[in-house]
Every structure is written in structure tokens, then in C-alpha cells.
Structure 1
Amino acid sequence: MYSETFFLVLAFILACNATTLRSLDSEWKLWKSNYEKKYTSQIDEEFRRKTWESNWKMVQEHNQLADQGKKSYWMKVNHFADKTEKELKSMSCFHPPASEERTFKNYQDRSYQPGPSNVDWRDEKCVTAVKDQGYCGSCWAFSTVGTIESRYCIKYGPLVELSEQQLVDCDSSNDGCCGGFPSSAFFHVTEYGMMKSSNYKYKGYATECRFKNSKALQLNASKSYDLIGEDNIASAVAFDGPLSVAFAVHTHFYFYDKGIYDEACAPAANHAILAVGYGSEEYEQYWIIKNSWGQYWGEKGYGKIRRNVNLCEIGDWGSAIDLI
């Protein structure tokens, strides 16, 4: 009797495992199709499949907790799902200068403090479409350009898409696809101006500088500066427009889907994003950020990050430029 029961249980477990494997096979094929994934060899695909399964499991376990109200955000099996943790960490692209080299601006002394309770510059049609930096470490260029695009729109009216590739190729103060710092990039922009992205298209890798002054949009900028403190950054966003902020990205953040991210962080800031607004839900305050990882990430390229707790150093590295 014992032996018969054992074999029945074993048969049931094997049947469940076979069903799960068939289900994963189907999801794997669908995922590859959705994200147009192709691999150079069978060995490479097997490795990627194993990595994908690990990330798939992590996402499912996290979302079960989110569905139970134990997490404030959800994850998804997106285009990063076949990448290892080491590969994702290698995308780090934020290289801050020494603290003594930074010039801070304090917004808490401004007469318009405090700002509105909710701000979203997308409502004013002054935020360009979500872009994708690819596997080039150029987040610093995207957050710099995003700041300028929005503030140019707020100041002068038209929303113009500008060239991140110009900064990757031509800004000698930064390191192209190997990382950089928005404040340094603002100096380049102030001196040379910016070409439109239609005239200097993004490639996702560094090339020789092809800047043409005759096609550049000249910017009248009074100064560029750094901000520290979430109150200061919020005021700058509310009254001057979107700006670049740094973030200490943990692996979990790569798989963010929706909700308010409030969890793990890297040991130090390693990514630059664009703060386009802020708000609150059920007494939970958050930043609205535009990322440069394409529309597959987050809520069509946007995300919410818990505010006023300096999560992942988001309040330590604000950078902006004043247009006149």
C-alpha cells in the first residue's frame, strides 16, 4: 500500500513538472517573439533560457506578494529578462565628480516655496517621447537632453527632440558609452548648442564627432547647477521644469512594471533618469520619472519612485540648466 501511494505521488509530481515545463516552453517562445530575441548558437540560447527562467521565477514570486498587498509595485518579464545580474550591473553609466567640484543651488530660500502638491509636465506636452539608450552607458546624455528638451519647450513653446548622440560623440568631458555626468554635459551644451536628433541620430555606440554648428540650436543659458535634497529638486521640477536625477539601480528596478518602487538599491548612484513630476497615492508620495530603457520598461517607459525618503540617493544628485 505504501509503495503504491509513493508511486502515485511521484507520478503526480512528474506530471506537474512536465506541465510547468510545457508552460515555460510556451512562455519562452512567446517572450522571444515579443522582444525579437535571436541567439547565435544553441549553447547561447540554453544559457539565456536558464537566465530567463531565474528572472521569470523572481518576477512571479514578487508579484504574488504585490497581489497580496505586501509590495507596493509589480515587476514584469521584460526585455532584460535574459540578462544576468552581472550584465545588468555593467550598464552603470553615472560617473559623478568629487563633491568639492559641485556647485549647489538651494531652492528652499525661493519665495515660491512650497510648490503644488502634484506636478506632471507630460500634461503640458513638454516631455518628448520615451527613448532607448540600448546597451550603451549613455543615461547621462539622455537625462541631460531630456532636461533641455522640456525646459526649451516650457520657455519658448516648441517641443524639439535633440541629439543624445552628439553628447556621446562630442562631449570630451564625459566618456560616451562608458558613462558620464549631466552637469558636465550641460557645460558642453551651453558652449556649442544642440543639434536635433533628426540631424544627428542615435546609434547606441560612440562614433567620431559629426557636430555641425550651422545645424545646431543655440541655447541662451544663464547657468547650469546641481541640486541636493528632495525638497529643492521638487521645487525646481515644479517651477522650472524636468531635470536630471541620479538613482542607485538595483537588479529589481530593471524589471519594474507599475506601482511605487520603494525597495532595493545599489550601494551608490549608477544611473541618471529624468524627473518629470511628482504626486501621491493614498498618502504615499512619489516621483514620476522618465527612463531611457525604452517603452518596454515600466509604464511605457515611465515609473514612480517613493519620494521624501531619499530612496536610492535620488535626492543627492539633481542637475539642471536655466534657459533665459
Structure 2
Amino acid sequence: MHLLIIQRMHLDKYLFAISAIIVCASASHFLDQEWNAWKSKYEKKYVTLDKELNRRKAWEATWEKVQKHNQLADQGLKSYRMAMNQFADLTDNERSSKSCLLPREKSLNPVKAESYSYTSITIPKEVDWRKSNCVTPVKNQGTFCGSCWAFATVGVMESRYCIRTKELLNLSEQQLVDCDEINEGCCGGFPIKALEYVAQHGVMRNKEYEYSQKKATCEYDSDKAIHMNVSKFYILPGEENMATSVAIEGPITVGIGVSSDFQLYSEGIFEGDCAESPNHAVIIVGYGTEHANDKEEEDKDYWIIKNSWGKEWGEDGYVKMKRNINQCSITEMAATIDFRM
């Protein structure tokens, strides 16, 4: 009898070990399928097997991070969800270190921009300039060029020009990357500096100066540029002024401190970790409020932000960010431009 018990115990241990092996093999097979599907979707190719294995390791760490975060979101403990997007094969440190803005000490010198504050003005509770058909489709700056500053500048120009003329132009970011000598092409820049360049030189259409994801020889042609009658370009202090400008005049450009969490954003209102200072330029195209279902919870004010990472990132290329808390240092570099008509 005692011998039978021992044999049964050994059999249970054996079956448990076999079950564990099967579960692990099944999980590994599942991840293999997901990895291959992800590589195909984002057209990822690696030079050597070692590089692919390193990226696969980072990707699996991201997978675990995304699953844990979304479980919390499902429980109502997070206000936004994450996704295995184009940044999934980077490590947290690599994602957090990506920047397309110049060091802060260079940000406002030698720009001649003034700070502008609105007097007390009643504005709508919600604004979304996408509904006016004056916001161009989401664009993609690509992986290898830190040109967010050019995309943010051009996007504001496109929208504000359209709001005044009813003509939506698709303008050239590449012109700014190649020709704006105050900024530093794919190595970073600042929208407020680029607004000064545009005020002086105008902007060519994208079809006549297409984006290439790299800095090249300047091919600016003044005869083909859209010369806009700029009345002023200016800095907006504080979220109240930012909201007023968006509501009355149109989209504005801002700098935000992008983190690893932000890069993996999928949907919802982002209120996660941020970098210590702005390192990415984006466009505010509107704002709104998500009303709480529970009386004990607070309503959440948010910005509607157009990014330059393609339509597959976030909510079709957009992100909602919590408003009125200076989320990700969003107030530090808010700027825009006005035209005379």
C-alpha cells in the first residue's frame, strides 16, 4: 500500500511536469505567432539573428507590460489602454530617450516671439476642429528622423490657413527639415522657431517638396511657396489661454514630455508617466470633458492631440491627454500663428 502511494506521488509529479511543459510550449507557440504577425504588420526586418533575438526579448517584455496595464484598465484602475504598436521592440529606456526637440536652453533664442494672454472670454465646453474639415490626415514622421517640430508647425499652418480661407492645403514638412537653418533638421527643432521661418519664407506644397525622412539639400522655391500674410506668432502661457486660442482661432502646437508609457498608448485619456521635460512636439486640435458615470468620481477634462506617428498609433493617430493639470509639461512650449486676411 505504501509503495502504491509513492508510485502515485511520482506519477502526479510527472504529469504536472508534462502539463507545465505543454503550457510553456503552447505559450511560446502563441508568442511566436504574435511576433511574426507583428513583424509583418510593421514591416520589421533585422540585419542579423542576434539583433532579432535582442529585439524579440524587448518585445516580449513590452508584451508583458501591455497585458498587465490593460488588465488594470479592464478593472477601471487605468484611464487608458496600451497596444503592441511600432515601438514594441524597443526597451523602456530606448522609448524614453527618443526626442525630436532641441535642449531647452536653445528653445527661445533668438526667436522674437511674444507671450499673448486673452482677456476673460467665454468659450465652448467642447471644441474639435476635425469636424470643420480643416485638419489634414495624420502623417508619419518615420522612425529615423526627429522632425516632430516640423510636422507640428506645418499642421498648425494648414489648419489655421484653412479656417480663414476654407482651403485645406497639404504643406511640406521636408522644406522645414532641409531649409530652416535655425532648427536642426532630423536632429530636432522647436515649432516657435519654425513659425518664424514660415512667416519669412512661406511653405511649399507637399506634392512639390515631398517628405523623405532625412535631411537633404534645400530645394526651396519662393515662386512655388504659399506666402501667408502672418500678423504674429506667439507663445501661449497656461492652459486657459491655450484653450481660448484653440476655441477662437484654431489648433496650436505644444511640446510634451513623452515617456515609454505614452509611446505605447492605444486609447482613452492618457494620464500616465511623463518625461521630465518636453521632448516631442504635437498639435492640439480641440478639447472636451469625459463625464463620470459614478457621482463619487470626477469628470475628466482632456485635450485632443494630433500626433505624427501615423494612423496606426493611438486613436487613429490621435491621443486624449488630461487637461488642466499641466500633463507632461504641456504648457511650457505652447505656441501658434495668426494671419491677416
Match of 2:116 among 105, 108, 118: 105
Aligned-partner residue type, residue 104 of structure 1: S
Rounded Cα–Cα distance in structure 2 between residues aligned with 1:89 and 1:281: 28
CA RMSD of aligned residues (A): 1.4
Residue 256 of structure 2 corresponds to 247
Counterpart mapping for 1:185-264 below 5 A: 185-264=194-273
- 1:12, distance to aligned residue in structure 2 (A): 2.0
User: After the TM superposition, which of the residue ranges 2-11 and 95-104 deviates more from structure 2?
Assistant: 95-104
Unaligned runs of 5+ in 1: none
Quick check: 1:295 aligned with 2:311?
A: yes
Separation in 2 of the partners of 1:99 and 1:34?
40
Mapping for residues 146-165 of structure 1, pairs under 5 Å: 146-165=155-174
User: Offset at 1:315?
Assistant: 1.9
Structure 2 residue 33 is the aligned partner of structure 1 residue 26 = yes
Whether the 8 Å CA contact 2:127–2:287 is kept in 1: the answer is: yes
Distance 1:242 1:94 in 2: 20
Q: Provide the residue aligned with 1:124 in structure 2.
A: 132
1:37 is matched with which residue: 44, 59, 68? 44
Aligned residue number for residue 73 of structure 1 = 80
Matched, 1:134 2:139: no
Does the alignment pair 1:171 with 2:177?
A: no
- Distance, in Å, in 1 between the alignment partners of 2:302 and 2:16 is 49
Q: Given the alignment of the two structures, is residue 114 of structure 1 paired with residue 130 of structure 2, yes or no?
A: no
TM-score with structure 1 setting the length: 0.96
Question: How far is 1:100 from its partner?
Answer: 8.2
1:8 partner amino acid:
L
CA distance in 2, matches of 1:246, 1:10: 53
When structure 1 is superposed on structure 2, of 2-11 and 203-212 the one drifting more is 2-11
1:269-291 alpha-carbon deviations (Å, 9 max, x no partner)? 10000000000112211000000
Alignment counterpart, residue 267 of structure 1, candidates 276, 289, 301? 276
- What is the CA–CA distance in structure 1 between the aligned matches of 2:275 and 2:30, rounded to whole Å? 33
- For 2:181, the aligned partner's letter is S
Give the Cα separation in 1 of the matches to 2:47 and 2:206.
32
Q: Gaps (5+ residues) in structure 2?
A: 1-5, 292-298
* Deviations 1:228-257, CA, capped at 9 Å, x for gaps: 211110110000000101100010111110
Q: 1:172 to 1:33 in 2, by over 3 A?
A: same
Residues 300, 98 of structure 1: alpha-carbon distance in 2 compared, 3 angstrom cutoff = closer
Larger Rg: 2
| Residue-by-residue CA offset, 1:104-136 (whole Å, 9 max, x unaligned) | 1112x1x5x131000000000000010001121
Q: Which runs of 4+ in 1 moved over 6 A?
A: none
Tell me the SS of whatever aligns to 1:198.
helix
Q: CA deviation at 1:82?
A: 1.3
Distance in structure 2 (CA, Å) of the matches to 1:228 and 1:123? 26
Please give the alpha-carbon distance, in whole angstroms, between the structure 2 residues aligned to 1:49 and 1:138. Answer: 27
TM normalised by structure 2 equals 0.91
Cα distance in 1 for residues equivalent to 2:44 and 2:89: 9
CA-CA distance at 1:267 after TM superposition: 1.0
Q: How many residues align?
A: 321
1:99, CA displacement in angstroms? 6.5
